[in-house]
Every structure is written in structure tokens, then in C-alpha cells.
Structure 1
Amino acid sequence: MIDRRNFLTTVALGTASAAVLAACGQPSPAQTGSADNPVTINYTWWGNDDRAERTRKAIALFEAKNPDIKVNGNFTDFPAYWQKRATEAAGGGLPDVMQWDLSYLRDYGQRNQLLDLSTVKIDTSAFDKSLLPSGQIRGKTYGIPTSTNAFAVYYDPAKLASLGIAEPDGSWTYDEYNAFLTEVGTKSGGALFGSSDYTSVWWMFNIWLRQQNIEAFTEDGKLGFSKDDLKEWWNKVADLRGTPAIISEERITQLLPKSAFGSNATASEVTWDNFMAGYLGDSGAKELKLVPVPSDDPDNLGLFLKPSMLMVASAKTKNKDAAARFIDFMVNDPEVGEIFKTSRGVPASKTQRDGTTFEGTDKLVVDYEKSIEKYLKDAPEPPIVGFGTLEASFKRISADLNFGKVDVNGAADAWFKEAEDLIKQNA
């Protein structure tokens, strides 16, 4: 069990050893700088304007405390971010430091495009030891988590009260959650849907597999579950599709760019806990609450803390020391924690968490993760190469299922074919 309050180890990135000394005994200019002639590193991240503003504040703070390093920062949205990284990787020009997603860590790490952070003398002293493997591949550390998030069921208490429906406590089976969704749709007369199709979300499927003690992927990069497992999962809401319990994919598309829950079209949603601020902002709700996901085994909720994002460095960076110092600062500095609060997730470093004041929305997220401590298991290792593509196809095929374009058998056949083809390509 993870104890978020008593961490066993700390990750504080030390600086890299000095570059190879020149004959005169001075460090290489590529590895060190001065206030008058600072080393420049490039840093990139994805996100919206709010994250950009917070990140720029953090960069300014870092430069003030490290005048020998200048950070050039830029950002884009999530889809464009990965298109750009793929182009840069093909040309050998990844930025020095990058915000990263777990879904793409193995793709780039196994292809030697990311720096093994153990080569820059990484100490572990403020991160939970069960979280660190999520950034490791075959004994090498390619990513350091900035923050954590966990899956939860969001609900709007005001909407439930208006329908005369009791608030859930999160101790429910899948049948009971489905009954709740049906009750919302029925009592609202179809004006409010229970939720979007939770079986369309890969990570919720992953959690359900863990509830069955099934690993999604094997150590040798193969699928750890069967086609029958996937059919059973997608059949969980077979009777709810096309009813007021589950909002249609067509309606979801009409509501974009807001989500169904953020648009006040549904009473609940199953997703990551750090979406709280965004949901409150989009919906205008006075209050939203979080409870655990359903499980048919009350002792195994399949929950884990996932790095909401990681910090990585390019394997080709010429400034390892500067990159390491910047990563250390972004994941450990208490003032950085105050800047981001829970907008990146709950800070993964105890040093950063202890130096951050959590109030209001931020406190709700932190309190939720504390409430599920006894259910938490080790975070999964980085997914297989090409996982980002598989996750996208999972969502796309689930949408076809929701639209009625394909049945469960056809959906499972289609996804497995794509998955097996992709695994063969990357074998």
C-alpha cells in the first residue's frame, strides 16, 4: 500500500558530473555557463494558456535562481505536440528537456532517443518507490514524474439532489453503477444523461483488468488479455447504449470542445482526478465530488497513481548538467509546487507537496488521493511501443460501437487486428 504521507525515498536530481575536462582543466563550454554567458536549453510542453502562464513563471524562477542557465520555452496542444516530437526525432533534433506522457515513453526510450537520467546521478529521496518504475525501462530511468493522478467517478451533487437521487459513496459494483446511470436518465426524462460510455476509456479498461488480476501487457511487449476479456468489457454497457443512461457519441461531438460532463449534459464521468479545475470552469458548477470507480471485488479497486506527466531529456542534449538541474527544479522545488498546485496533478515529490498550500479545488483532489491510499497498487510500467496509437484506436472503435456502426464482436476483432499488427511491426 502506498502511504502518501510517509514516503520511503526521495528523488532529487543531482547535477551531472562535469563534462570531460579540457587540457587546461576547464569544463567544456557545452556543459557549463555563467551569469554573463549562460548555457541555453530548450524546453517544450503541451497544455493550454493557463499551464503556459504557470510554466513561464516557473522558468523565470529557475533562471533567477540559476543565472548560468537560460531556458527557451514553447508549448502547443496535445495532438500537435506528438506530431512535432516525431518529426524532430526523425531529424535527430529533440529539445533538451521535454514534458512527457507515459504512453510515449517506451516508444522513444527504447529507441535511445531519451537520456538515461541515471547517468546524471539521480538520487531518490522524495518520491514514492512504487511510482518510480513508471519512468523506467529495462533498468534505465528515462522519466521523472512531475505529479500523480488517479481514476475516479466525478458527479455533480446539485444535479443528483434535483432528481431526488442519493449521492454515491463509491462502494459500488458495475451493476450498481449502471443502475445509477439508468436512474439519472430515467428521472430526468432524458434531459440529463447518466454518463458517457465509460467502457470507451482505455485506462478504465486497464483498471478493470487489474481488478481481475490481469496485466494489460506482458514483459515481452505482448497483450496480456484475451479478445474475450475485451468483449466482456465492452458488453458491460451493451444494454445502456442508445438509452438516457449513456450519452450518444453524436451528442458528444456536438458539444466539443467541451466534454459531456463539462457541458452539463451528464451527471457523472469516469476519468482522472486532476480534471477537477477544468470541469468546474467549463460547467460553472458550484461543487463537484469524487468517489472511487466501481469494482465487483470490494478489496481490489485496481487503482494506482499514474504519473500525470513526466520530465525527460534528449539523449543528444549537449547540456546534461543544465538539463538535470532544470528537471530537478521543476519536480522538487516547493515554490514550483505553489505555482502549479494540482493543475499538473498532485505533486509527486514530497518536498514539493509539503511546500504547497492546497485549498478549495486543489484540496479536493489531494484529499481524494489520500482517501484511496489503501486501495492503491504499484503504477504500471510504461506501455508497449506504439501504445499511443492503440489508445487512440481503442477510443475510435468504441465510438463506432456507440454509433452502432459495429457490434461488440466486430469491435473486438478490429481492435485486436490493429494491436497485433502494431506489435509485429515493433517486435
Structure 2
Amino acid sequence: MGDNMSVERRTVLKAVGASLTTLGLAATTGCGGGSGSGDGTVTIRYAWWGGEPRAIAIKKTIALFEKKFPKIKVKPEFTDYEAFWEKFQTQASGGNPPDVFQNSVTFLRKYDKRGVLMDLKTQADAGNLSLDNFRNGVLSAGQADGKQLGIPVGANTMALVIDLKAFEKAGVKPKFGWTWDEYFDALQTIQDKLKIAGDTGYFSIMYLYDLYLRQNGKAFYTDSDLGFTEDDLTQWWEDGYKRVRSGLVADPKKIEQVKPKSGLSAGLAASEFTWDNFSIRYEGEGESDYGLAPIPTTDGKDTGQYLGSLMLSAFTGTKHPKEVAQFIDFMTHDPEVGKIMGYDRGILATSEQYEAFTPTDDNNKGVKAYEEEVAAAGVLGKITPHPSGADVIEAAFLRIGGEVAQGKTKPADAAKALFSEAKAAFAG
């Protein structure tokens, strides 16, 4: 989730989730990826996805860990999002995934179902890993079916990124608790005054639709199925397509043309929903000033928000469970690690690391202030664990929503197609 809907994720989810073919996983007991040596030193493999800045920072944290634990060596493996999950699936099918790896809620049940993920409560009970001092209930993001399948390293929540100059010129001031009607009225004002679209394409973002459903007493997922009806989704996509035709939502063809830039930073629209810690991308891409605004609501209060997270998971068949747990504990609690990583993977998840890092740039200061405001408002709920197959469904939602936006598929047909693909994904 933590990198969900980033530039990288928007483009590669299609590739990762488009195929319903999943490899049958081999038995995973006793096949850890780590190794040992005659002097008692062990080596564990640590894999993650992300760009070069993340890799540089993580390698610094590994050096700190190896200094504190000289008998544990860490072999880094990193790549981009798409290649990571393709490689991981192959490794898992052969019973040789990394000992420790970056993970998200989308994949917890999928790989737990296949016997890949360690229940980290066992290592917490053994005293090798602390589950204390996680902020705002984010530890629950790594839980499913009574197990602790991941330990959060960062937290983020959905936000509305706005072009501050455009909103100011239009005289629009977002406020906490504003309704969807007020949001769309604001976009209409922007369109009328500035002659640009108000939004880049909100209705193909699965996690935003999840918030909308939660505002209305539902959720995108139940424990084993979709938590809404075809009629619910048809209405959501009908409303979205109507706003594309009216110009309130940007022309999807123009959005495609400016990729990998965002439609927001390219000046095609004045706002875009995404994860709050992704907001730094807009300053790098665009020529305006950007900030975070509250999620619109149905009732003037409940935003449906929760904290998502990138997390660390462990291979249940590792030969070095204690050392793996010590590594995860260090990476999630050590203050120096927090200073090095900053908000690269979201707001730091534990109080030790959160208090150790003080953001100095406006973007990270804004993310911190936004999450503190959301937490203080008391609207944060618990994330709903995603069923196995959620990665396929997320990709389908993005793809099919894009077809609706382009007028290629009628909303009712699109909803039927999404439900059909979800049924196949759940059975996979």
C-alpha cells in the first residue's frame, strides 16, 4: 500500500496483476535463503523495491545493523516494483524467497495462503522483536487472520493534493469535513474561472473508492470477497464518466500523453487523490506550489481514512528466524535508522523513529502536519485486510476504470467485468 498509486505503481500494476496465472508454491519448510559460516556468522537476504535514493538509504541502515550485530551479514536485493514481485513469485514457488522483504497489505493473505509468511508474533513472544510503540494503531496494517504477517516501517493515508495557486486564484479554500458536493462545486468554480479541469481522474483509484465506501458503512473488501455491489460501482463510475464529459475531470487521453508526469503537475487539472507521502513528486515535476487538502466526506465528518503501510515480512522457512527478527526490530525501532530513512516509505511508524527524525523541507513538514491533523480529528479507522487476489483486483480496477474514463466501456459493463475478474482472482 505504501507505494500504491505512485508513478511506478500506476504503470506496473497492469503488468503485475493482469495475469491470473499464479505459480503453485513448493513446500517452504527448512529452505531459508540465508547461510552460515564456520565462525558463527550468518547471512540473511533482504529484498525491497524502490528507486535509487531508497536503496542508498537502506544500505546505510544495513551498515549500522551489521556494526551492532557483527555476526549477522545482510545481503541486499532491490529492484523496481514490477520486477520485484515477478522475481518474488518465482523465488517463492521454488521455496527460496528472501529471508526478509518489503511487503504491503495487498500481498499479505496471498502469500500467507501459500505458506510463505512467518507469523512474527512467535518472534515477539521469544523476545527477539518488539511490537511496542507503533503510532496511531498502524501495527494492525500488518495483521490478518490473527497473525502478525508484517511489521510497518512507515505509515501513510490517502490525501487530496492540490495546486495551491489554482485554488487560491479560484478563491476556493478546502476545509476539514467538506462534503463531496462541496468538493465538486469547488472543481466547477476552478473550471469556470481558470479553464482547467478540477481533478485528474479520481474514480479509477481503488483506495479512494474504499474510503468512499467506508464513509457509507461498507468497505472495498470483506475477509474473502468484495464489500460492495455491481450497482454501487456502476453508480461510482457513471458519476465519474459524467464529470469527464463535462470537463470537470481531465481528458484521460491528455493524462496518458504526459506520463510519467502526473496530470496535476503537468497543469491539466488542479487536484489529484494519492497517498500523502507521494506529494513530494509534484514539486519535482511541476512548476506550481502543491499542498495537501482533506478528503471530502459524505456526512461532514467521517473520511473513511486509515493508515496504510509499507512493512517488513519474513520467510517462514528461513534458517535464521532469530536473526531475521532482530533485523526487523532494528529497522523499525532504531532512532538512527529513522533519521536516515526519513519519510521515504511514509511517516515513520514507531515513536522512537518518529521522534528522531525532524523534517526540514516544506513537503515533509506538510505530510507530518497532515497526518497529525487527521489523527487528532479522530477519524482514523482500522484497515480492512485484503483477501488473496487483491493485487489482481487492484490492477483490474485501475485498468477498467481507465476504460470507463475513455468511453471504451459503459459503467455497467465495466462493473460486471470487475466482478468477474475479482471472482477469478479470489479463486486463484
The normalised TM-score by structure 2 is 0.86
Which of residues 87, 93, 98 in structure 2 aligns to 1:95? Answer: 98
2:245 is paired with a residue of what secondary structure?
Answer: coil
Work out the CA distance in 1 between the residues paired with 2:330 and 2:264: 35
Work out the CA distance in 2 between the residues paired with 1:44 and 1:88: 12
Deviation of 1:33 (Å): 7.2
Give the corresponding residue for 1:114: 117
State whether residues 276 and 367 of structure 2, in contact with CA within 8 Å, keep that contact through their aligned partners in structure 1: yes
Deviation of 1:413 (Å): 1.0
Deviation of 1:46 (Å): 0.7
Deviation of 1:306 (Å): 1.3
Q: Aligned partner of 1:328: which letter?
A: D
Deviation of 1:37 (Å): 5.5
Cα shift readout 1:204-239 (whole Å, capped 9, x = no counterpart): 0100111011133223x0222111111222233332
Deviation of 1:341 (Å): 1.2
Is the alpha carbon distance of 1:170 and 1:237 closer, same or farther for their aligned partners in structure 2, counting shifts above 3 Å?
Answer: farther
Cα shift readout 1:67-87 (whole Å, capped 9, x = no counterpart): 111111121111221111111
| Uncovered stretches (5+) of structure 1, i.e. residues with no partner | 1-29
1:71 is paired with a residue of what secondary structure?
Answer: strand
1:45 is paired with a residue of what secondary structure?
Answer: strand
Deviation of 1:284 (Å): 4.2
Tell me whether 1:282 sits opposite 2:285 in the alignment.
Answer: yes
Work out the CA distance in 2 between the residues paired with 1:208 and 1:129: 21
Q: Which moved more, 1:358-367 or 1:393-402?
A: 358-367
Work out the CA distance in 1 between the residues paired with 2:366 and 2:123: 36
State whether residues 166 and 194 of structure 2, in contact with CA within 8 Å, keep that contact through their aligned partners in structure 1: no
Percent identical residues: 35
The structure with more radius of gyration? 1
Q: Aligned partner of 1:362: which letter?
A: N
Deviation of 1:31 (Å): 8.8
Q: Which aligned segments of 4 or more residues in structure 1 are displaced greater than 6 angstroms?
A: 30-34
Superposed, 1:82-161 pairs within 5 Å as 82-121=85-124, 122-128=129-135, 130-161=137-168
State whether residues 31 and 321 of structure 1, in contact with CA within 8 Å, keep that contact through their aligned partners in structure 2: no
Q: Aligned partner of 1:320: which letter?
A: P
Which of residues 195, 198, 202 in structure 1 aligns to 2:199? Answer: 195
Cα shift readout 1:249-302 (whole Å, capped 9, x = no counterpart): 2112111112212333221111110012222112244x3211211112112111
Q: Which moved more, 1:236-245 or 1:58-67?
A: 236-245
The normalised TM-score by structure 1 is 0.86
Which of residues 46, 64, 67 in structure 2 aligns to 1:64? Answer: 67
Is the alpha carbon distance of 1:239 and 1:375 closer, same or farther for their aligned partners in structure 2, counting shifts above 3 Å?
Answer: farther
Give the corresponding residue for 2:79: 76
State whether residues 303 and 375 of structure 1, in contact with CA within 8 Å, keep that contact through their aligned partners in structure 2: no
Q: Which moved more, 1:412-421 or 1:229-238?
A: 229-238
Deviation of 1:377 (Å): 3.1
Give the corresponding residue for 1:5: none
State whether residues 170 and 194 of structure 2, in contact with CA within 8 Å, keep that contact through their aligned partners in structure 1: no
Work out the CA distance in 1 between the residues paired with 2:267 and 2:57: 28
Tell me whether 1:171 sits opposite 2:177 in the alignment.
Answer: yes
Cα shift readout 1:376-395 (whole Å, capped 9, x = no counterpart): 33322320101000000000
State whether residues 191 and 198 of structure 2, in contact with CA within 8 Å, keep that contact through their aligned partners in structure 1: yes
Give the corresponding residue for 1:303: 305
Is the alpha carbon distance of 1:325 and 1:351 closer, same or farther for their aligned partners in structure 2, counting shifts above 3 Å?
Answer: same
| Uncovered stretches (5+) of structure 2, i.e. residues with no partner | 1-33
From the two aligned structures, give the one with the greater helix fraction.
Answer: 2
State whether residues 101 and 310 of structure 1, in contact with CA within 8 Å, keep that contact through their aligned partners in structure 2: yes
State whether residues 136 and 381 of structure 1, in contact with CA within 8 Å, keep that contact through their aligned partners in structure 2: no
Work out the CA distance in 1 between the residues paired with 2:35 and 2:403: 52
Q: Aligned partner of 2:184: which letter?
A: N
Work out the CA distance in 1 between the residues paired with 2:100 and 2:267: 38
State whether residues 202 and 391 of structure 1, in contact with CA within 8 Å, keep that contact through their aligned partners in structure 2: yes
Give the corresponding residue for 2:29: none
Deviation of 1:136 (Å): 1.7
Work out the CA distance in 2 between the residues paired with 1:236 and 1:164: 24
State whether residues 200 and 268 of structure 2, in contact with CA within 8 Å, keep that contact through their aligned partners in structure 1: no
Superposed, 1:381-396 pairs within 5 Å as 381-396=384-399
Give the corresponding residue for 2:6: none
State whether residues 338 and 356 of structure 1, in contact with CA within 8 Å, keep that contact through their aligned partners in structure 2: yes
1:270 is paired with a residue of what secondary structure?
Answer: strand
Q: Aligned partner of 1:87: which letter?
A: T
Give the corresponding residue for 2:371: 369
Give the corresponding residue for 2:349: 348
Q: Which moved more, 1:396-405 or 1:407-416?
A: 407-416
Give the corresponding residue for 1:6: none
State whether residues 300 and 375 of structure 1, in contact with CA within 8 Å, keep that contact through their aligned partners in structure 2: no
Give the corresponding residue for 2:237: 234
Tell me whether 1:331 sits opposite 2:332 in the alignment.
Answer: yes
Deviation of 1:32 (Å): 7.6
Q: Aligned partner of 1:399: which letter?
A: G
Q: How many residues align?
A: 389
Deviation of 1:164 (Å): 3.5
Q: Aligned partner of 1:313: which letter?
A: A
